[in-house]
C-alpha cells in the first residue's frame, strides 16, 4: 500500500511553540566541561571560556531555550558553590555521573553568558531533592532582583550589575527518582511549598515548571494536576527510547535489523504517552493553561566502548535522525498542549547535537534534523493527514510515514516527513489543498546503511542533501521518501 497525504494549507492548527526545539545541558560527562566550557586560558579558541566551534555550530540551530544544570545533577547542585572567584569555588563530587570532581567553574554567570552568546532563553532547574526553600528562593533573588538586597548585592560584587531575565524555572527534577525518591502526594506538597518562594521581581515573570512523570506513570500526573495545577505553568514529562530496555540499552552503532524496528516503535510510543498524560491534564485544566514540557527526551544507548559508563557518551547514526524527526513531528502535532521540549543532551551526552574530541568537533545526524526542522519554530501549524502502512515488531504496530506541516510568516509552507522503514521507500500521493503553489524544493537526510554515522575522520558521512524525488501531478505531488529518511519540503506560493 502506498501512502496518502493531504495537506490543507488553509486549515490552521495554532502556533508551533519554538521552545519545542529546546535543548538540555547537564553537568554530566563531557557536556559542560570540554564540550562547552574550556576556560579562558584554553588553547581551544573560546569566548569567555566557552568554545567557539561549538558555539558557532549551535548558533545555526536557533536554539530557543536551554535547560540547566540538570537532570539528576540539579537536585544535588548548590548554586552558591558556583559563583564568585573561580579559584575559590568549592569542589564537590558529581555522585550521579562518574564520581568525578566538579570544580564549579561553570556556574550561574557562565551559564547566563552561554545563553547570551547563543541568544537563547535560560531554563533553570532548581534543587528540591537536597536543597532548601531558602536556597531556591535566594537563587531567584540573586538572578532577577533589581535593587538592593543581600543576593542582588552579591551578584553585583560578582560582576553582574543588572539582573538577568529568567523566564523558565523548574522546581525539582525526577523527584520520583534521583530527585528524592518521593511519592507523588509528597512531591505535590513540596512543590506547592517551594514554588511559593519562587518570586517574580520587577518585570521578571517566572513560568514555573513542576517535575512531572516518568514515562507512563499516570498516577504522578493525576496527583500533581489534582493537587497543584493552579500553582504551575508547566508540568514535565520524561521519556527515553532504550531499544534494549533500561539496563542493557543497546549499542548506538552496532545494532541489528530488529533493534532498528524496536527503536522506531519505541520512538512512536511517545505519542501514546503524550495523549494519555494530556487526557489527565484536560480533566483538571480543560483550558490547557498548564503546558506539557517534555524536558528530557531522546534515544539513550549504552556508552561507546571504552568510555566512562557515568559519562553517557554515545554515537549517533541515521537511526537517530529518524527518531528525532518522528519525535519532533509528534511534538508539533500536539502543539495544543506541548509548549516546550528539550532533547537530552546538547553536547557529548545521549542524543547529542555535536560531539567533541579535544579541539575537534562533529555534527551528528540529529543536529542536521534540528537544523532542517527549525523552519517550524513559531510557525503556524497547518492540517496534514497521513494514511500510511503500519509496520510491526513483536506484535506492536507503528506507522511507516509520519509528518507535520507549518506555514511561515512569508506564506511558505514546510512539510517534514519521515520514513521509518529501513528497507523500503515510501511512495506518497500528496494532495495539496487550499493553496496554489508555484515551487517545491526540499532536503533529505538518509544513508546507505542504518549504522552509518559521522566520525572525526569522516564527519560528513551522514548529512542533508537536496531532495528531488518528487514530481508535480495534477495539483498535487508524487513524493518518494528513501528508506530510513527524514525529508523537509518547502512549498512556495
Ligand atoms: O539525561 C540524563 C538523566 O536522565 C538526567 O539527569 C535525569 O533527569 C534522567 O534520568
Mean pLDDT value across residues 313-325: 98
Mutational pocket test of ligand 1: of 30, 72, 300, 350, the residue with most ligand atoms within 8 Å of the beta carbon: 72
Q: What is the pLDDT of residues 179-190, one digit of tens each?
A: 999 999 999 999
Question: Is the separation of the CB atoms in 262 and 319 below 8 Å?
Answer: no
Q: What is the pLDDT of residues 408-426, one digit of tens each?
A: 999 999 999 999 999 999 9
pLDDT band of residue 1 (cuts 50, 70, 90) is: confident
Q: What is the pLDDT of residues 88-127, one digit of tens each?
A: 999 999 999 999 999 999 999 999 999 999 999 999 999 9
Q: What is the pLDDT of residue 78?
A: 98
Q: What is the pLDDT of residue 51?
A: 98
Q: Which of 31, 127, 116 is nearest to 80 (CA)?
A: 127
Q: Which of 350, 346, 361 is nearest to 311 (CA)?
A: 350
Mean pLDDT value across residues 324-350: 98
For 132, what's the count of Cα atoms within 13 Å in the CB-facing half-sphere? Answer: 4
Which of 34, 121, 141, 296 is flagged as catalytic? 296
Does residue 296 carry a catalytic annotation?
Answer: yes
Cα(72) to centroid of ligand 1, in Å? 6
Q: Which of 25, 24, 30 is nearest to 310 (CA)?
A: 30
Q: What is the pLDDT of residue 283?
A: 98
Q: What is the pLDDT of residues 286-295, one digit of tens each?
A: 999 999 999 9
Cα(308) to centroid of ligand 1, in Å? 16
Please report the sign of the dihedral spanned by the C-alpha atoms of residue 65, residue 375, residue 288, residue 271. Answer: negative
Beta partners for 393? 396
Mutational pocket test of ligand 1: of 296, 346, 348, the residue with most ligand atoms within 8 Å of the beta carbon: 296
Q: Which residues have C-beta within 8 Å of that of residue 484, sequence separation ≥ 6?
A: 260, 318, 319, 322, 419, 420, 421, 422, 446, 447, 450
Q: What is the pLDDT of residue 263?
A: 98
Question: Is the separation of the CB atoms in 370 and 3 below 8 Å?
Answer: no
Q: Which residues have C-beta within 8 Å of that of residue 424, sequence separation ≥ 6?
A: 400, 483
For the record, the C-alpha cell of 289 comes out as: 493553561
Count of other CB atoms within 10 angstroms of residue 73: 23
Q: What is the pLDDT of residue 475?
A: 74
Q: How far apart are CA 476 and CA 9, in angstroms?
A: 12
**Backbone φ and ψ of 273, nearest 5°:** -60, -45
Averaged pLDDT of the chain: 97
Mutational pocket test of ligand 1: of 68, 128, 238, 293, the residue with most ligand atoms within 8 Å of the beta carbon: 238
Mean pLDDT value across residues 440-459: 97
Q: What is the pLDDT of residue 476?
A: 86
Q: What's the start-to-end Cα distance of the chain, in Å?
A: 31
Cα(247) to centroid of ligand 1, in Å? 14
Mean pLDDT value across residues 209-226: 98
3-class secondary structure for 345-390?
A: CCECCCCCCEEEECCEEEECHHHHHHHHHHHHCCCEEEEEEEECCE
The C-alpha angle 150, 67, 348, rounded to 5 degrees, equals 125
For the record, the C-alpha cell of 465 comes out as: 542533501
Q: Which of 38, 142, 19, 127 is nearest to 76 (CA)?
A: 127
pLDDT band of residue 238 (cuts 50, 70, 90) is: very high
Q: What is the pLDDT of residue 437?
A: 80
Closest C-alpha to ligand 1, atom 8? 71
Atom of ligand 1 nearest to the CA of 24: 1
Using CA atoms, how far residue 198 sits from 141, 211, 267, 342, 391, in Å, is: 9, 15, 35, 22, 47
Whether the full predicted model's pTM is greater than 0.85, yes or no, is yes
Mean pLDDT value across residues 23-36: 98
Q: What is the pLDDT of residue 247?
A: 87
Ligand 1 is surrounded, with C-beta below 6 A, by 26, 70-72, 173-174, 296, 344-345, 350
Which of 102, 174, 259, 271 is flagged as catalytic? 174
pLDDT band of residue 474 (cuts 50, 70, 90) is: confident
Mean pLDDT value across residues 52-58: 98
Q: What is the pLDDT of residue 331?
A: 98
Cα(350) to centroid of ligand 1, in Å? 10
Count of other CB atoms within 10 angstroms of residue 124: 26
The C-alpha angle 81, 76, 357, rounded to 5 degrees, equals 80
Cα(455) to centroid of ligand 1, in Å? 25
For the record, the C-alpha cell of 199 comes out as: 518570586
Mean pLDDT value across residues 383-411: 97
Please report the sign of the dihedral spanned by the C-alpha atoms of residue 308, residue 454, residue 58, residue 238. Answer: negative
Amino acid at each position: 500500500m502506498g501512502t496518502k497525504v493531504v495537506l490543507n494549507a488553509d486549515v490552521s492548527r495554532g502556533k508551533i511553540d519554538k521552545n519545542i526545539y529546546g535543548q538540555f545541558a547537564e553537568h554530566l560527562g563531557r557536556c559542560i566541561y570540554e564540550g562547552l566550557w574550556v576556560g579562558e586560558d584554553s588553547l581551544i579558541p573560546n569566548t569567555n571560556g566557552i568554545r567557539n566551534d561549538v558555539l558557532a555550530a549551535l548558533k545555526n540551530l536557533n536554539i530557543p531555550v536551554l535547560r540547566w544544570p540538570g537532570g539528576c545533577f540539579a537536585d544535588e547542585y548548590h548554586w552558591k558553590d558556583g559563583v564568585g572567584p573561580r579559584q575559590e569555588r568549592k569542589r564537590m563530587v558529581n555522585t550521579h555521573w562518574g564520581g568525578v570532581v566538579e570544580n564549579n567553574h561553570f556556574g550561574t554567570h557562565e551559564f547566563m553568558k552561554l545563553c547570551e552568546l547563543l541568544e537563547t532563553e535560560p531554563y533553570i532547574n532548581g534543587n528540591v531533592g537536597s536543597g532548601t526553600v531558602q536556597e531556591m528562593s535566594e537563587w531567584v533573588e540573586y538572578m532577577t532582583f533589581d535593587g538592593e538586597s543581600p543576593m542582588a548585592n552579591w551578584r553585583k560584587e560578582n560582576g553582574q550589575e543588572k539582573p538577568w531575565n529568567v523566564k523558565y524555572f523548574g522546581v525539582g527534577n525526577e523527584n520520583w527518582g534521583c530527585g528524592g525518591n518521593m511519592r507523588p502526594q509528597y512531591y505535590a506538597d513540596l512543590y506547592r511549598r517551594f514554588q511559593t518562594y519562587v518570586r517574580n521581581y520587577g518585570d521578571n515573570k517566572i513560568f514555573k515548571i513542576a517535575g512531572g512523570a516518568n514515562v507512563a506513570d499516570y498516577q504522578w500526573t493525576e496527583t500533581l494536576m489534582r493537587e497543584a495545577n493552579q500553582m504551575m505553568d508547566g508540568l514535565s514529562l520524561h521519556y527515553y527510547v532504550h531499544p534494549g530496555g533500561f539496563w542493557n540499552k543497546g549499542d548506538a552503532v552496532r545494532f541489528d535489523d530488529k533493534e532498528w524496528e524496536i527503536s522506531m516503535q519505541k520512538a512512536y510510543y511517545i505519542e501514546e504517552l503524550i495523549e494519555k498524560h494530556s487526557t489527565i491534564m484536560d480533566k483538571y485544566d480543560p483550558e490547557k493553561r498548564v503546558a506539557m514540557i517534555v524536558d528530557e527526551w531522546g534515544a539513550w544507548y549504552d556508552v561507546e566502548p571504552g568510555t566512562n559508563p557515568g559519562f553517557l557518551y554515545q554515537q549517533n547514526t541515521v537511526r537517530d535522525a529518524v527518531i528525532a524527526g518522528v519525535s519532533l513531528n509528534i511534538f508539533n502535532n500536539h502543539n495544543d498542549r506541548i509548549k516546550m521540549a528539550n532533547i537530552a543532551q546538547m553536547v557529548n551526552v545521549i542524543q547529542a547535537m555535536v560531539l567533541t574530541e579535544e579541539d575537534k568537533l562533529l555534527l551528528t545526524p540529529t543536529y542536521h534534523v534540528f537544523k532542517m526542522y527549525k523552519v517550524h519554530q513559531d510557525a503556524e501549524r497547518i492540517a496534514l493527514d497521513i494514511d500510511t502502512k503500519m509496520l510491526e515488531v513483536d506484535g506492536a504496530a507503528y506507522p511507516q510515514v509520519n509528518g507535520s506541516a507549518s506555514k511561515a510568516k512569508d506564506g511558505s509552507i514546510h512539510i517534514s516527513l519521515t520514513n521509518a522503514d529501513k528497507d523500503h521507500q515510501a511512495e506518497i500521493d500528496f494532495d495539496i489543498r487550499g493553496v496554489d503553489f508555484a515551487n517545491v524544493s526540499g532536503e533529505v537526510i538518509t544513508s546507505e546503511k542504518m549504522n552509518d554515522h559521522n566520525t572525526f575522520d569522516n564527519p560528513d558521512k551522514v548529512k542533508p542533501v537536496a531532495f528531488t524525488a518528487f514530481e508535480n501531478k495534477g495539483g498535487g505531488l508524487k513524493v518518494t521518501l528513501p528508506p530510513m529518511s527524514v525529508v523537509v519540503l518547502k512549498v512556495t506560493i
